Amino acid sequence: MKKLIAVDLDETLLRRDKTYDRERFLQINERLNDRGDMLCVATGNSYHKLSDYFNLHDIHDLYLACDNGTILLKGDEVIYQHGLDYPLVRQLVEDLSQNPKLHPVLSNGFHSYFTYTTQDALDYIKRYNNDLTVLERHHEIPDKNFLNVSIYSELSFEENKGLIQRIMDQYPNVSAVTSGDAWMDIYVADGGKGTAIRYLQDKYQIKKENTMAFGDSLNDMSMMQAVGYSIAMENADPELKRHCRYQVGSNEEQSVLSTIERYLSEGDLDFMQEYKLISEVTHG
């Protein structure tokens, strides 16, 4: 049966230094294609950032769920995108900017915008955005829909989680999640990586039990709820682990690649029972 495998990037496929075993990955993708299986990179990063990790030749047959699944591409071809309305984006930015430790970044999928706050914040944000326009004031934000509002936060991780809850309570039309220790993401309520996974499942008639996903952060939660094989990294947020059925090794060990290679060698996923977490989870 055709399998769909979804892989997060930061702290999942990528090591801490943002590298991964590229040759192994390309060989795995080729072998999956030969079997008729599908590979989807599902990331909070915008499309323009992926050029740091792939080239167009590498990704022409890869599905890319970028900006937390609010835009889905195959290679460089856009399949769909779901954006936030401009008035809502302006309201969010004005609200968040009241706190000097919060630095919102807006993405339309191919370009990002940041209203200048501090040089330290700008330097940090540039590490995650290859195509960035720096604005002086919020009124310079272009009047268009945006796919994702990413927030670089200098608050503690626990404070970020509290802020996420406040955003969800105050803005019922959005979803908000933490993405690693220093970032939060806001997108349309019916967005998220799980939306991209369900789209591919429906399009190619792939059952939930033939879908697996690897992740480490709470922005991976929606895709874990969409798959039969929900796999947390060893280094994952404990809250995500509570919603996953399986756990493999860390990103530093390139455990994503090792797990997929084992599937390719054995031809089925029976071996995953070795990685099953003790407590069962209930997926929505």
In the chain (284 residues long), the average pLDDT of successive 10-residue segments reads: 96 97 96 96 93 83 94 94 94 96 95 96 93 94 93 96 95 91 92 96 97 97 97 97 97 98 96 86 52
Q: How far is CA 266 from CA 104, 170, 271, in A?
A: 45, 49, 8
Per DSSP bridges, beta strands 132-135 and 229-232 are unpaired
All structural domains of the chain, each given as residue ranges with its CATH number in brackets, are 4-81+191-275 (3.40.50.1000), 86-188 (3.30.1240.10)
What's the rounded Cα separation, in Å, for the pair 144 and 259?
A: 41
Q: Name residue, tokens 């404070």.
A: 159
DSSP run (H or E) holding 88: helix 86-96
Amino acid at 175: S
| pLDDT at site 51 | 85
208 dihedral zone (left: phi>0; alpha: psi -120 to 50; beta): alpha
What's the rounded Cα separation, in Å, for the pair 1 and 108?
A: 36
**Helix, strand, or coil (residue 149):** strand
Amino acid at 99: N
Contacts of 27 (CB under 8 A, 6+ apart): none
Contacts of 146 (CB under 8 A, 6+ apart): 83, 84, 86, 89, 106, 107, 108
Specify the DSSP class assigned to residue 99: S
| pLDDT at site 284 | 47
| pLDDT at site 138 | 92
Taking a C-beta distance cutoff of 8 angstroms, is the pair 240, 218 a contact? yes
Please count the other Cβ atoms lying within 10 Å of the Cβ belonging to residue 219: 29
What's the rounded Cα separation, in Å, for the pair 30 and 61?
A: 9
What's the rounded Cα separation, in Å, for the pair 277 and 284?
A: 18
